[in-house]
Structure 1
Amino acid sequence: MGPKKGVAKRLRVVLDTNILVSALLFTGSASNLVPFWREGRIVLLVSKKIIQEYLRVLSYPKFSLTDLEIQIFFHEEILPFVEVVKIVKF
Structure 2
Amino acid sequence: MEHLLILLDVIKKIITFNLSGIDRDEWKIFQGYGFFLFVVFLSLILYCYLYHLYRAEKKGERNYEKYANLVLDDSINDSVLENKRSA
TM interval, shorter chain, is under 0.3
Query: Which is higher, the Rg of structure 1 or of structure 2?
Result: 2
Higher normalized strand content (fraction of residues):
1
Answer 1 or 2: which has greater helix percent: 2
Question: TM-score scaled by structure 1?
Answer: 0.21
Higher relative CO (CA 8 A, sep ≥ 6), structure 1 or 2?
1
